[in-house]
Structure 1
């Protein structure tokens, strides 16, 4: 069984993570899609509310990935909300069940 192409996988996860980080979805919505400490890190980042805005809704402006190995992707995305731009990085790993899960996540802070 072959999984979805990597661009589709990385785009899907970027949208899912953005929905949680911007408060559009609850953190537990990602429980099945995370592994290891990624869920705890996502909960911590969501609680800080760094992507919740009162104006423009955050969107993925650009995305790319590096295939670290056939079953692991390191994804980077630029998240825009109005004139603010933030970096989002996350790692995806494909399990023995052929499902992709987020295993690490980082969100850049804006420069002063």
Structure 2
């Protein structure tokens, strides 16, 4: 693999090699303190140029107009839905492109355990093309909650991922359940 370097190649901790007989660069903008022994006094400023003849006065021009500014975000692009964002995040973890703890602050309770169990087997890792989110659908059972599904495409193969999102008191979305390829298997009861 060839890398294209746009800057001079040298190690960050070393200086680039200089020509023999040349001095290293020095700072010329240092200030001189006259209280230090051996310090040179600051240079005298140049005299101001002599005043010129009075300038001819022009008639007042129209006020300057600022051209219209382009917005930083294009106006037509909507904010991505939390279902789309989480489908991408979950796909990154389940395909092995990100570690499970990438979702640690974006999941609650059992969802993190389920995600860790699913990611351990690497269900979306493939030697061929990378999996991509094909389509995302959702149902809003009540305000502040989404039950969503995503179609995951890997080459010719199509798989299903389902997840639930809930908005917390801090107005952040968190995943509270995740399944891949159908309902999860039986689970041991929690103590408590």
**TM-score, normalised on structure 2?**
0.53
Residue matched to 1:78: 151
Find the aligned partners of 1:9 and 1:41 in 2 and give their Cα distance.
Answer: 20
Residue matched to 1:43: 116
| CA drift at 1:30 | 0.3
Q: Does 1:30 align with 2:113?
A: no
Q: Which has the higher strand share?
A: 1
- The CA RMSD over aligned residues, in Å, is 1.5
Find the aligned partners of 2:177 and 2:155 in 1 and give their Cα distance.
Answer: 26
Mapping for residues 79-98 of structure 1, pairs under 5 Å: 79-98=152-171
Residue matched to 1:57: 130
Q: Which has the higher helix share?
A: 1
- Gap runs ≥5 in structure 2: 1-77, 183-192
**Residue of structure 2 aligned with 1:17, choices 79, 90, 107:** 90
Moved over 4 A (4+): none
Residue matched to 2:178: 105
Give the 3 Å change call, closer, same or farther, for CA 7–65 of structure 1 in structure 2.
farther
Q: Matched residue of 1:31: which SS? A: helix
Q: Matched residue of 1:23: which SS? A: coil
Give the aligned length: 105
| CA drift at 1:68 | 1.0
- Give CA deviations for 1:56-98 in whole Å, capped at 9, x if unaligned: 1000011110001101100011001001110000000000110
